[in-house]
Amino acid sequence: MKLQQVLSYTRRAVDDYRMIQAGDKIAIGISGGKDSLTLLYALHGLKRFYPEPFEIHAVTVDLGFGNQDFDQIKALCEKLAVPYTIVKTEIADIIFEQRKETNPCSLCAKMRKGALNEAMKAIGCNKIAYAHHKDDIIETFLMSFIYEGRIHTFSPVTYLDRMDVTVIRPLMYMKEVDVIGFVNKNELPVAKSPCPVDGYTKREYVKQLLARLNQENPGVKERMFTAIQNQNLEGWPEFYGRK
């Protein structure tokens, strides 16, 4: 996938849900994975021509595994002239050594988001962009249905009143396969996750389940996404685009 196509998806999402306003300073959560690097390119490219001027600042929360190299990401941010901050934490030690969590994902996500929110407020950002794509939204919808018994998924825009922070998800119209294609075509410096449970989570199970459903019922994922958009889910903002 070409950058122009990525920018088209991103512009559409930003416009449909009015994610960005003039004067915004947006932190981009950079995990080092394919999704967050694609988001970095997307917002960097959008910034050059979007009618509402905004700033971006890349932020990585280092979980403290000790074997993840962010040097190439730092070099990429320098190439793009995007400020980059790495936040050192001991989250990995707390979860896997001290607490020895058997189901670590929820606590890890909570601690990581907390560290990210503190960092972005310290550098003066009022919004944070997460790299959740269309497949993430559909998977979360199905996970909530199966494991929690509720109809819920990521919202395109979420205001966190306790932190006075707005979360946006500009990649919401991109499929994971599109992200993979963009990363491979541009040889982006993906820093593989060192997490010992990566690939063995409930999300991975649901991902595989959806792949089977879509293979047996072509188009089912697209229909699920359309259903999500049409349901007026709690917490979702007003839609301003064309469905």
Produce one character per residue of 131-143: b if its CB has 16 or more CB atoms within 10 Å, e if not. Answer: bbbbbbbbbbbbb
Q: Which pLDDT belongs to residue 199?
A: 60
Question: pLDDT tens string for the chain (243 positions)?
Answer: 899 999 999 999 999 999 999 999 999 999 889 999 999 999 999 999 999 999 999 999 988 887 778 899 999 999 999 999 999 988 888 988 888 887 788 888 889 888 999 999 999 999 999 999 999 999 999 999 999 999 999 999 999 888 889 999 999 999 999 999 999 999 999 987 777 776 667 888 999 999 999 999 999 999 999 999 998 888 899 999 876
**Domain residues of the chain, as ranges?**
3-230
How far is residue 23 from each of residues 126, 127, 153, 179, measured CA to CA in Å?
10, 11, 28, 28
> Which tokens go with 23?
């004067």
The residue type found at 141 is F
Q: Which pLDDT belongs to residue 241?
A: 85
CA–CA gap between residue 51 and residue 60 (Å, rounded)? 28
Complete DSSP assignment for 107-134? HHHHHHHHHHHHHHHHTT-SEEE----H
Spell out the CATH class of 3-230: alpha beta
Helix (H) or strand (E) holding 148: none
